A and B are shown apart, each in its own frame.
Chain A
Amino acid sequence: MKLKAPDRITFSHFGFCPGCGHGVAGRLIAEVAEEMGVADKLLTAVDVACGSMHMNDWHFDTVMAAHGRTLVTAIGLKKTRRDNPVLAYYGDGAAYAIGMAETMHAGLRNENVIAIVVNNAIFGMTGGQMAPTSLPGQKTTSSPLGKDAVRFGQPFKVEEAFSGFDIPYLARGALVGAANVNRAKKMIKKAFEKHLDNQGLCYVELLSPCPTNWNLEPLDSKRFLLEEMTKHFPLGEFKGGDAK
């Protein structure tokens, strides 16, 4: 078997922790962009959080946005560079805490960008604080006794919040295990296809391990993701799907 990284991945400053899902997500996006022949035109916007490190390993023109404003930054960019595909890449904290208004209104207006949300159920960049996606009982640095879901709410499910929105694509994949990763790639591809057809907001959430802040070894992280996270975050396509 020959292992080869996509041409659009460079190895200059790869900063993700071992076992982190961001690296897998970045690779899948680069592969899809290449396979679909849009790598030369793709513009990306990244959040200031862990995902911003793709600025150094992606060979794409990239804008680093303010925390939680990645999606609206991408929207502004798309409305300016209308012939370029535009992808916003950010975390669950950005999407569902500080940027919740931006998330909801992009869905409501069906804004014409690709949104890739890397959900690791935690604030990774700032050292592992509780997020709106953290699981009940999940120990984080700001919920050391475990998240009290009565006080802080159940994990936020975008497919429920977006149920009434008329957007072309909404799916959730996972970045662990070959089958899941392949499926996640198909979801990203579907999002690109519909985006290139200017259908509106193409939204893919990707469950992603954060071994560092989960305080778990990479293999235990994989188990936690598949056994615990997916109980709250079902995998699949919720809108516009047929990617098997």
Chain B
Amino acid sequence: MSERVLMKGNEALAEAALRAGCRFFAGYPITPQTEILEYLSWRMDEVGGSYTQAESELAAVNMVYGASSGGARALTTSSGPGFSLKQEGISYLCGADLPAVIVNVMRIGSGLGNIFQGQGDYWQMTRGGGHGDYRTIVLAPNSAQENADLMVLAFDLAEKYRHPVLIASDAAIGQSIEAVELPEFRDHDLNKYDWPVRGAKADEPIRTVKNVFYSMGDAYEDYLRDKYAQIEAEEQRWESIQVEDAELVLVAFGISSRVCEEAVEGARAKGLKVGLIRPITLWPFPVKAFEKAVNAKAFLTNEMNLLGQTMDDIRLATGCRVPVYHSGSIFAITDTNDLIVRIEEVMEEVKGGGQ
């Protein structure tokens, strides 16, 4: 039976993890993620799981690595600087084909930055932020409800592909209190799959969790290629709003997409043909969504970063057919009216053959 409750986004995410069968959490305090850790510090005990406030994000992600090796649905969460510290661990999770969920409640960076909402970790999260040749599925919720829903999906996908999955939430989603329909409780069996370590009798083959490519051979390369290709083919997720006839298509994920939804409405009310593509998977980028944008003369991103980090992916998805513009600031969520002004500017510029 699902329940509808008022909850902070961070707490909805934490509770949903438990309901998805997560019984291992390790983390380290950092704003704006800390409520997840605080919530699980008492709640994990109630469901009989293991909670650890670790000495660092490094320790936390490597505890997750150990827990996952044993078959647990394991979670660690952080933000900005702490998420950077997890990168070696995420690379190792990929290197060892281990599922895990790592949440980044994004704040403003680089450096210490600030604790306010940001979307500056798009490149880090979608390109494989650690060393080596990997990428991870990245899910981008835009509400407390999706913080909960995508947490469940994240564990399912991590397990399906034996691969870590990242969640790109942010301070605004994490800190807002909204109505949330919580998912139902699910049991997780540590021995659901054969690969987790559990102990081997003398006459049984042993299980090893390794991260050394050189011992794996050519078949491993094929396995990895197939895994990434399958994820790109099957796991693109997005939401489209009035894209087909739109002359200008907004592209935004996370909290920015909610401003864009309002802006589409406002612009349409003014007779402007504007639509929105909201990537829910940041990787794989929802290239398929762009096939429907047949009338688009330009794309306009709205994201809380300086460098317009999603622009390259849009250019790639559209073969650079039409110009891509950026809007947004690192210091604030864009005001809807300001965005509509920007929409009008861009449409004017495109009509005039600009850029």
Taking a contact as CB atoms under 8 Å apart, the answer to whether A101 and B55 are in contact is: yes
Contacts of B89 in A (CB 8 A): 66, 69
Q: Contact between A62 and B206 (Cβ–Cβ < 8 Å)?
A: yes
Known: A80-B71, A80-B74, A102-B55. A65 touches B197 (CB 8 A): no
Q: Which of A16-24, A35-43, A162-170, A187-195 contacts B (4 or more CB under 8 A)?
A: A35-43
B66 surroundings in chain A (CB, below 8 A): 45, 63, 65, 72-78, 80
- Residue in A closest to B73 when the chains form the complex, CB atoms: A80
Assess the A66–B207 pair: CB atoms within 8 A.
Answer: no
Q: Which of A40, A55, A60, A77 contacts B70 (CB 8 A)?
A: A77
**Most chain A beta-carbon neighbours within 10 Å: one of B24, B69, B96:** B69
Of B57-65, B175-183, B308-316, B330-338, which stretch is located at the interface?
B57-65
Q: Tell whether A228 is near chain B: CB-to-CB under 8 Å.
A: no
What's the nearest-Cβ distance from chain A to residue B95, in Å? Answer: 9
Query: What are some 24 contacts across the A-B interface (CB < 8 A)?
Result: A8-B202, A40-B200, A42-B199, A43-B70, A43-B198, A48-B211, A55-B210, A60-B199, A61-B200, A63-B66, A63-B208, A64-B208, A64-B210, A65-B65, A69-B59, A73-B63, A76-B26, A76-B63, A76-B64, A76-B68, A80-B74, A81-B198, A105-B55, A105-B59
Tell whether, in the assembled complex, residue B199 and residue A79 are in contact, meaning their CB atoms are under 8 Å apart: no
On whether the beta carbons of B209 and A66 are closer than 8 Å, the reply is: no
Q: Which residues of B contact A198 (CB under 8 A)?
A: none
Cβ-based interface call for B125 (8 A): no
Task: Determine the distance from Cα of A77 to Cα of B210 in the docked complex, in whole angstroms.
Answer: 15
B199–A41 touching, CB < 8 Å: yes
B212 at the interface (CB under 8 A from A): yes
Nearest CB in chain B to that of A67: its residue: B88
CB distance from A117 to the nearest CB of B (A): 17
| CB-based closest 5 A-B pairs | A76-B66, A76-B63, A69-B62, A73-B66, A61-B197
Q: Is A101's CB under 8 angstroms from B206's CB?
A: no
Q: Which of A59, A60, A76 contacts B67 (CB 8 A)?
A: A76
Q: What residues of chain A have their CB less than 8 Å away from a CB belonging to chain B?
A: 7-8, 39-43, 45, 48, 55, 58-66, 69, 72-81, 84, 101-102, 104-105
Tell whether, in the assembled complex, residue A79 and residue B58 are in contact, meaning their CB atoms are under 8 Å apart.
no
Q: Which residue of A lies closest to B98 (CB)?
A: A63
B52 interface residue (CB < 8 Å to A): yes
Q: Taking the nearest CB of chain A, how far is it from the CB of B285, in angstroms? A: 29
Tell me whether A72 and B199 are in contact (CB under 8 A). Answer: no
Q: Are A63 and B197 in contact (CB under 8 A)?
A: yes
Bound CA–CA A26/B201 (angstroms):
18
Please report the C-alpha to C-alpha distance between residue A63 and residue B202 in the assembled complex, in whole angstroms.
18
Q: Does B327 contact A (CB under 8 A)?
A: no
Is B209 touching A63 in the complex (CB atoms < 8 A)? yes
CA A110 – CA B267 in complex, angstroms?
61
Contact B67–A43 (Cβ < 8 Å):
no
Q: Which residues of B contact A60 (CB under 8 A)?
A: 199-200, 206
Confirm or deny: B240 has a beta carbon within 8 angstroms of a beta carbon on chain A. no
B299 contacts A by Cβ under 8 Å: no
Q: Tell me if A75 and B52 are in contact (CB < 8 A).
A: yes
**Which residues on B sit within 8 Å (CB–CB) of A105?**
54-55, 59
Asked if A80 and B200 make an inter-chain contact with CB atoms under 8 angstroms apart, the answer reads no
Please measure, in the bound complex, the distance between the C-alpha atom of A81 and the C-alpha atom of B199, giving whole angstroms.
Answer: 10
Q: Which residues of A contact B58 (CB under 8 A)?
A: 69, 101
Let me know if B289 is at the binding interface, CB within 8 A: no
User: Is A73's CB under 8 angstroms from B69's CB?
Assistant: yes
A58 shortest CB reach to chain B, Å? 8
- With A and B bound together, what is the CA distance between A241 and B69 in angstroms? 32
Q: Would you call B253 an interface residue if the criterion is a C-beta within 8 Å of the partner chain's C-beta atoms?
A: no
> B49 — nearest CB in chain A belongs to which residue?
A79
B318 proximal to A (CB < 8 A): no
Q: Which residues of B84-107 have CB atoms within 8 Å of chain A's CB atoms?
A: 88-89, 92, 96
What is the CB-to-nearest-CB distance from A70 to chain B, in angstroms, rounded to a whole number? 9
Which A residues lie within 8 Å of B207 (CB)?
Answer: 61
Closest CB in chain A relative to B110 CB, distance in Å: 24
The answer to whether A59 and B63 touch across the interface, beta carbons within 8 angstroms, is no
Picked from A8, A66, A77, A101, the residue with its CB within 8 Å of the CB of B69 is A77
A59 to B201, CA, bound (A): 9
Q: Could you say which residues of chain A place their CB within 8 Å of the CB of B202?
A: 7-8, 39-40, 59
**Residue among A48, A81, A101 making CB contact with B197, cutoff 8 Å:** A81
Say whether A101 contacts B59, CB under 8 Å: yes
